[in-house]
Every structure is written in C-alpha cells, then in structure tokens.
Chains A and B, each alone.
Chain A
Amino acid sequence: MRAIRNLVATLSVGALAGALAVAAPATSADAAKSPTIFKVAASSTIDTFNPFISIYLLPTGLNRLVYENLVQYSVKDGSPTEGLATKWETSADAKTWTFTIREGMKWSDGQPITSADPQWTYQQMMTDSDMGTANGSLVSNFAKVEAPDPQTLVITMKEPQASNPGLEIPVVPKHVWEKIGDKVKYANDTNVVGSGPFVLEKFTPSQSVVLKANPNFWQGKPKLDGVTYVIYKNTDASVQALKAGEVDMVGQPTLTVPQFDSLKNADGITTNAGKGRRFVGLSLNPGAKTRDGKKVGDGNPVLQDKAVRQAIRQAINIPELLDKTFQGHGTLATSFIPSVYPQWQWKDESKLAKYDPAAANAKLDAAGYKKGPDGVRLDKSGKPINLRLFVDNSDSVDQSRADFIVPWLKAVGIGVTVKPTDGDTISADTTAGKYDMYFTAWSLGADPDYQLGINTCNALPTKTNGEGSTSMDYWCDPEFDKLYAQQHAELDPAKRQEIVKQMQAIHYDAAPSIDFWYPENLEAYRSDKFKDLTKMPEDGGVLNGQSGYYALLKAQPVGADSKNASDSSGGGMGAGGWVAIAVALLAALGGGAWLARRRGSTADDRE
C-alpha cells in the first residue's frame, strides 16, 4: 500500500513539474528558429516513393516535386516546356527525338546532372518490366535511348510519335540508383537525392512526409525551407486542422461542398475552387465486344442504337444536375477532354445537344420504340426497356445523381433500375461488360494521346470475359482509329489539335458516354500565413494535385510582422500549455485526494 501511495504522489508531482517545464519554453523555442515550413494535409494513400513502382496519386505528385522530368508541363496549359532539357528536335518521320540538356545542373547531393541520367532511367524501364510497373506504357514505343554526350539525349522510336516522350517520367540519379541492389523493392523514402524544387527527407508511414528545399534546383532554391505533408485519414479532420492553423493547405483529395462552404468566410483562409483536369459522366454500354467482334457481357441491346444513347443525353438536364448535386462546382463538359486543356478540347456550340425531353421523345419515336400501356417504351422484341444503373453506394454524390436521372429518363419512356453496390464490383462488372450504365470519371494528362487511345478498337479485350480490356466505354469506330493514327504522328501542333478535335466530334455524335462536367477541386489555404501560391493552370486552376510542381515554387510567408501577430493569437503561452497545466493540476488534486482518503481509511482500520 505504501508503495502505491508513493507512486501516486511521485506521478502527480512529476506530471505537474513536467507539464510546467514543457509548456513554458515550447513557444519561445518555436519563435527562435522558425524555418518556414508549409504544411499540407493529405488524405490519400502513399504506396511507395520508388518512382518506378508508385502508382498512387499522392506519391506520384510528391515525386513531381522531387524529380524534374526531361520535359515539364507548362503552368499555363500543360503544354511541353523546359525541364532538364532546354530544347528538343524531332526528325521529319517523328521517329527520332533529340533533347538538349541544360548545362551546369546539379543533383541535390552536388553531382552533375547529365544525359546519362535520363538514358539510364529509361533504359531500366525498357529492359525490366518490373521497373516499368508505374510508367512502362510511356516507354513502350522506345526502340533505343542514347547519350552521345553529356548534354544530348537521343530517343529513337519504334513507330512515329508526336506526343513528347520526355514528359511525365521521373528521371532518377544514375550514380545513386545503379548502386542499389534490388531496385524494384527500394523504398526511396529517406534522404532522397533529387533534382526538383524539394527533396524528400523523411517519410513516417501513416503520419507524415517531410520534404526540404533543394538549393541546387535549376530555377533556384524555393523560398520555403520545406514542405511537410501531414496524413489525415478523413478530410473532416483536415478541415479542422486548417482552421486551427495546424496545416496550411487542404484539398487533397477535394473537399466536399459543405466542408468547402464552411471555410469560405473563415478568418485568414482563402478558398479556391480550381478548375480540374477531370471529367465526370455517364458511361453507356454500346454493345461490348472483343477485338474480333465476339459479345462480351450482357449489356441491354437497345443501347447499341446510337439514337437511344443520344436521346438519353437529351433527356438529362445536365446543368440542373450540376447545380443540384454539386452546387455548380464544375464547368459543363463538351467532351472527355477538360477545359483546362483548351488547345485540345472540342467545343462546337452548334453541335452540342441541349436538354430537350420533347426532342428525345421524338427521336425514340422515330427510331421505332413505341410506348407501352404504362408509358415505358418497348424494345425491338416487344419487351419494356429497363436499363440498369450502377451506383457506388459509398459515394453520396453518385446516389443523388441517380435520384435525378431516373425520373428524367422515365419521362421519355426509359425504365431504369438503380443498382447500388461497391466500387470494386462496379469496376469488375464493367470490365466484364456486365452493365448498362454507370457513372464514370477520368483524370487526364496534358497530352490527350492516352485518352484517345483507350477509345480505339485496340483497347478492346481479346477474351470474352473482358480480361485485358483498357477500353474507356467499350466503344470503337474505324474512322476514329484512322484519325488516332494520324494525330499520333502529326508533328505540327496546330494540325494535330485539329485532328484531335475531329475525333472528339465523332465521339460526341456516337455518345458512348455522356460527359457531364469538369468538377472543380475544392481546396483552401492559410492566406494569413503564406502568399504567392501558384495555381495550375495559372488562370483558375488548382493548387493540389497539379501535374507540375508550381503550387509552392514561389510561395513565401506573409511578412514577418503579420506572422508574429497571427502566432500570438493563442495568448503568450499557447493553448497547449494551459491544457497541460489543467491536466497536471487535476492529476495532482486527484492524487492528493486519493492519498488523503487512503490515509484516513487506514487510520480507521487501525482502530
């Protein structure tokens, strides 16, 4: 008993002393050193920082800060701009690309950056399929890569290629990586040697990623001393953290509309509804089949009729849907290429269909789908039309969209059965062609070649269970494929853009998917602490999830005076200190009371 009593006494006194000792100096120490660290809340998965393996969005984005590409996406519209290379030339047959590497660049460890680095990087991906896990498809057209001198890199293609091959692939330092034994298993998460504006210093799984400024970055050292990504498992918590000033930016992934609205009028916080590089829409099964024409899955045959697909588009009031289900946070779509890439986006107002249920009805009448007694149209075999609509039951926006679409389609005589299920089932069933309609979404890179490619016949599966399919909507058209091949090798940007727009017009007319809108990324940052953040695209774009490294490149703290002012808002000691003292006092009081009681009771006992 005595031992316990002593323990309690020691603990409570110790807690009090410890709390006082810690609470007081904590804030003064913070003020003394104060490196400018920008903290970003992130709620997405981090698989690995090995750039050859990493397939998740967040680490891929972080590697954009760590590794400069041979060619970078421009902040204006994502078009190719200087990276490690200052300029590039393409042979007339579009088969040889020659890059000139900037002189005098250094890795963060001081070693020179030469053409040997990209050469080695690409070579690894070409010769070892495991090293191509993340980006293998980007080098699949490479026949050979040579580095004739430290400033020159020559890529020879198997087939002509108009899209710049130097984009997207992180270039790693050869002198570091060639010494690594098992490169595929290498975690690459401490003291990373990089070439971008920030380099990874330390990764604590499920907690944080610490990056520090790279003094050797070719555009000069960033003004921030570092960036720390703080892992939050839910965005609600990260919004509170922003309000409390624990983090400086949120929006990765996008906030929900209520979260965003709650930050709109918050002091010291600036919100940004940034134009994103995603589109959302409704995918229709146009009759899934294999490359050689064998049926895949069990799609409703009426959707094979283009008139039905077009009528569905006219029956859906897309502007109202955007307004009611997403509070207008998006730009109405004209194609699957988002408006942040205006050079590629097809936008022919005269050809765009408007919400017009009467016209939709007329179109279905003309196509021979008569209305049955209950107002539901009959298909060619005389059965009432009933389409299945997959809804991801973990996504409330998906569900509310379905609530609007069902009555709209009913109004034109098309029955819909909503099938709520999980995302993995939707993914599996749509790959196998077992669907009629589902909500689709894609993020696009700055070059549309890939997205166009997955709409060609080559993207269709070879097996009837859908295995190996990369097709966007199981749709393909020989005319579209011909133009795809043309644009793939067209070196004149203006001509290539023209072809790409023609392809989108074909896709729009065929309507294998109904493109709704390009959603905004809803995000916010502490504008009372930091300024000069750069959006991508510069005009109305996003801060989080950029395809470049611009957001924090020029960011800097708001003047030193105002910074002190905002810091002192906690009142001298800071809230933590007060809580510490409160806890310690409680512990001391509790311990004391317990002791007193103990002593009293033992006295009683002794009687």
Chain B
Amino acid sequence: MTSALLEQDVEATDADRDVRGGTSFWRYAGRKAGGAAFSLVMVVVLGFFAFRILPGDPTRSMTRGRIMSPEQLETLKRQFGLDEPLHTQFWIYLKNLPRLDFGESYVYRRPVSDLIAEHLGATLLLTGVSAAIAIALGLWIGQRAAWRRGSWFDRLNTGSALVLWSVPTFWLGLILLLVFGGMLHWLPTGGLKTAGTTATGIPLVWDVIRHMIMPVVTLVAVTYAQYLLVMRASLLEEMHADYLTTARAKGLREDLVRRRHAVPNALLPTVTLVFLHLGGLIAGAVTVEAIFSWPGLGYLTYAALSGPDLPLLQGTFVVFSSIVILMNLAADLLYRFLDPRVRAA
C-alpha cells in the first residue's frame, strides 16, 4: 500500500506540471483541496446509505429479549425517525450536516456530535502520543539501520519491527494485559483513569499515564515498523548520492554526514508518508481501544455497531473518513511545500 500511495503521489505531481515547466502552488493546492472535497461528499453520501443497507431493524435488534409490545416498537421507530421514508431521512441528514448535527444516537439518546466530542479527546491523546513515539522510534532506528545496512543492529531492529508489525494487535494487547495487568499487577487493566477516582492535578495526570502505558506500547509496537521501513528505504536511496561524497570530502564525521546531509533529504518522502499513516493510525486505534477499554472514538464505534446505532455509526464514519482525507491532503500539500525540486520543476 505504501508504494502504491507513493506512486500515486508522484503521478499527481507529474501531471501537475504544465507546459511552461511550473505551476503555482495555489493551483496545485486548489486541485488537491477540490479532490478532497469531492471525497468528503462521497463519504457523506456513502455514510448514510452504507449503514442503511445493514440487515435488520435497529428497534428489534436493540430490544431483543426484552418485553416489548408492538406499540412500544412503533414508539421507538417514531423516536428514531425510522417511520419516515428513506429519502426524507436522507434529506434530514443532509440538512443538518453543515451544522455538524448528525442527529441523535438511538442507543444513548444524545446528540451524536456531543458523543463524538466527548470521546475524541481520549482518542487524540492515545493516538497522538503513540504516533509521536512510533514516528520518533521508527525514524531514529530507520536511519541508523540504513546507515549500517546489514549490520546486527539493522537485522535485529528491522526483523523485530517486522515481527511486531505482523503480530495481530488484539493478540499483542491481550498478552500485555495478561502479563502486566493480571499476573504482575503492574499496570491497570483498562480505562483512561481509575474508575470513580476523585484525584485532580498531578495525581490524576499520573493515573492517566499509568493507564496509557499498555495501549500506547501496543499501538507503537504494531505501527512503528512502517516509519522504520520508509525511513530506511529513503535513506538507502540517498546513501550513494554525490553530495555525500562531497560532504565526506569536506572532512565531516560520518555521523554528521548522516545527520546533516543524508537524513534531511531522505526525510522528504518520509514526512508525507507519516501524514498518510496518521489518518490510518486513528482508525487503527479501534482495536486497541476495545482491548484496553479506552473511552475513545474507536470504542464508541465498536459500541455503535451492536445497535446498530445508525446515526452514531454515520457520525463516526464521517469523522474517521474526514480525518483520513484531511491527512492525505496535508501530505500532498506538505510534500509540495517541502521539496524544492517539486516546487521549482
């Protein structure tokens, strides 16, 4: 997937070059933003219909095994707006969307936007910290591994990163939970903070940090390989460039040649990929949040599936997709901005 995205990017930039041998940044940005906007519209439409074709009647699924009269089921249908024809439901959905109003959750009986706002923070905290660590770790190991290609450091690190990357997230999370939670009692087994805690200030921060360790370690473990490999590959491409010979000829230490000359150039393709992966990371948090009962968006989506809570599913779908689209747009723009060759071409 990584290479496919890279190619796509290169093609796009090629196509953008006009006959005069250069395009304005704004025209390029406008085109990219237009594409993103179109994707967003598709997501909004798809978000409505994709979940409507799910089998079953939410009112029945939600009330399975409960004493319910047909009148009560009718009441529920009316409350959910399911008694309206589909096109009317769609129209209501579209009408409210510009105000970020995704309707009211069937299950929680509260506005979907409130629920998303309530859970977004936890997801951003988890994915933000994990992404920062995974990127730092991946890039650092990646460039060292490339520089000493074939060494034990390279083989050990690349190997273990790949193993962790292939490990199922659920399995790794449960193993950590079993060992550090259930057996050693070192770390809490779930949640964002101790349930019912009245702590504030530093004790609360510390409590949250303790709860974050396992989910963050899991998420970092299964994702840092992609940064490592991209960094390693990009740096390998730069390794035999002439300018490095020049740098060495100047008498610079090997370390400085790598850090000052090779790495900045190798970072260019890496940075865009980092952004592309960020969007995916947030979506990937779904599993981790479910294992560690982390009260974030992933957890909310997981819960919404069992309704099925259509408005909530639509809301989280649109939010997740928008994040991915925006990150892709950011990657496109950033690439253009960072690489003087593309800008001047």
Q: Which residues of A contact B (CB under 8 A)?
A: 18-19, 21-22, 26, 37, 39, 45, 47-48, 50, 53, 55-56, 129-130, 132-138, 140, 184-185, 187, 202, 204-208, 210, 226, 228-234, 236-241, 243-246, 422-425, 427-429, 431, 441-443, 445, 450, 468, 470, 570, 575-576, 578-580, 583, 601, 604-605
Return 5 A-B CB contacts under 8 Å, by A number.
A133-B72, A204-B295, A208-B195, A230-B190, A233-B190
Closest to A26 in B: B203
How many of B's residues come within 8 Å of A, CB to CB?
68
Contact partner of B295 among A205, A229, A243, CB < 8 A? A205
Q: Is the beta-carbon distance between A37 and B196 smaller than 8 angstroms?
A: yes
Contacts A47-B107, A431-B60, A575-B185 known; A237 to B195 CB distance under 8 Å? no
State the CA gap A39–B197 with chains docked (Å): 12
Identify which of residues 225-268 in chain B touch chain A, using a CB-to-CB cut-off of 8 Å: 253, 255-256
| Residues of chain A with a CB closer than 8 A to B85's CB | none
Extra A-B contacts (11), CB below 8 Å, given A233-B303, A243-B182, A604-B256: A45-B303, A47-B107, A136-B71, A140-B71, A202-B196, A228-B196, A237-B177, A422-B55, A441-B65, A570-B185, A579-B210
Q: Which residues of B contact A (CB under 8 A)?
A: 54-57, 60-73, 75-76, 79, 107-110, 115, 118-119, 174, 177-178, 181-193, 195-196, 202-203, 205-206, 209-210, 213, 253, 255-256, 289-293, 295, 299-300, 302-303, 306, 308
Contact partner of A185 among B63, B64, B109, B209, CB < 8 A? B109
Closest to B73 in A: A468
Q: Is the beta-carbon distance between A579 and B67 smaller than 8 angstroms?
A: no
| Residues of chain A with a CB closer than 8 A to B75's CB | 129-130, 132-133, 136
Max chain A C-beta neighbours (<10 A), residue from B182, B299, B308? B182
Closest to B201 in A: A22
Question: Chain A nearest CB: distance from B118 CB in Å?
Answer: 6
State the CA gap A576–B34 with chains docked (Å): 51
Contacts A246-B188, A424-B54 known; A55 to B299 CB distance under 8 Å? no
Q: Is the beta-carbon distance between A133 and B71 smaller than 8 angstroms?
A: no
Question: Chain A nearest CB: distance from B291 CB in Å?
Answer: 7
State the CA gap A45–B293 with chains docked (Å): 13
Closest to B186 in A: A575
Contacts A50-B109, A136-B72 known; A240 to B189 CB distance under 8 Å? yes
Q: Is the beta-carbon distance between B66 and A55 smaller than 8 angstroms?
A: yes
| Residues of chain B with a CB closer than 8 A to A206's CB | 119, 293, 295, 299-300, 303
| Residues of chain B with a CB closer than 8 A to A245's CB | 185
Closest to B260 in A: A605
Q: Is the beta-carbon distance between A424 and B55 smaller than 8 angstroms?
A: yes
Max chain A C-beta neighbours (<10 A), residue from B189, B290, B295? B189
| Residues of chain B with a CB closer than 8 A to A244's CB | 181-182, 185, 188-189
| Residues of chain A with a CB closer than 8 A to B255's CB | 601
Q: Is the beta-carbon distance between B67 and A138 smaller than 8 angstroms?
A: yes
Closest to B107 in A: A47
Contact partner of B203 among A22, A232, A443, A468, CB < 8 A? A22
Max chain A C-beta neighbours (<10 A), residue from B68, B192, B210? B68
Closest to B194 in A: A246
Contact partner of B181 among A19, A205, A241, A442, CB < 8 A? A241
Q: Is the beta-carbon distance between A443 and B65 smaller than 8 angstroms?
A: yes
Contacts A48-B108, A206-B295, A445-B67 known; A18 to B118 CB distance under 8 Å? no
| Residues of chain B with a CB closer than 8 A to A39's CB | 195-196
State the CA gap A48–B105 with chains docked (Å): 11
State the CA gap A406–B197 with chains docked (Å): 52
Question: Chain B nearest CB: distance from A56 CB in Å?
Answer: 8
Q: Is the beta-carbon distance between B182 and A424 smaller than 8 angstroms?
A: no
Q: Is the beta-carbon distance between A233 and B110 smaller than 8 angstroms?
A: no
Contacts A50-B109, A470-B70 known; A236 to B177 CB distance under 8 Å? yes
Contact partner of B202 among A18, A55, A132, A138, CB < 8 A? A18
State the CA gap A443–B188 with chains docked (Å): 34
Closest to A605 in B: B256
Q: Is the beta-carbon distance between B109 and A428 smaller than 8 angstroms?
A: no
Q: Is the beta-carbon distance between B308 and A424 smaller than 8 angstroms?
A: yes
State the CA gap A427–B55 with chains docked (Å): 9
| Residues of chain A with a CB closer than 8 A to B183's CB | 243
Question: Chain A nearest CB: distance from B13 CB in Å?
Answer: 33
Question: Chain A nearest CB: distance from B209 CB in Å?
Answer: 8
Q: Is the beta-carbon distance between A579 and B195 smaller than 8 angstroms?
A: no
Max chain A C-beta neighbours (<10 A), residue from B72, B108, B289? B72
Closest to B306 in A: A45
Contacts A18-B206, A237-B189 known; A129 to B71 CB distance under 8 Å? yes
State the CA gap A35–B70 with chains docked (Å): 46
| Residues of chain A with a CB closer than 8 A to B295's CB | 204-207, 231
Contact partner of A231 among B68, B109, B191, CB < 8 A? B191
Question: Chain B nearest CB: distance from A444 CB in Å?
Answer: 10
| Residues of chain A with a CB closer than 8 A to B67's CB | 135, 137-138, 445, 450
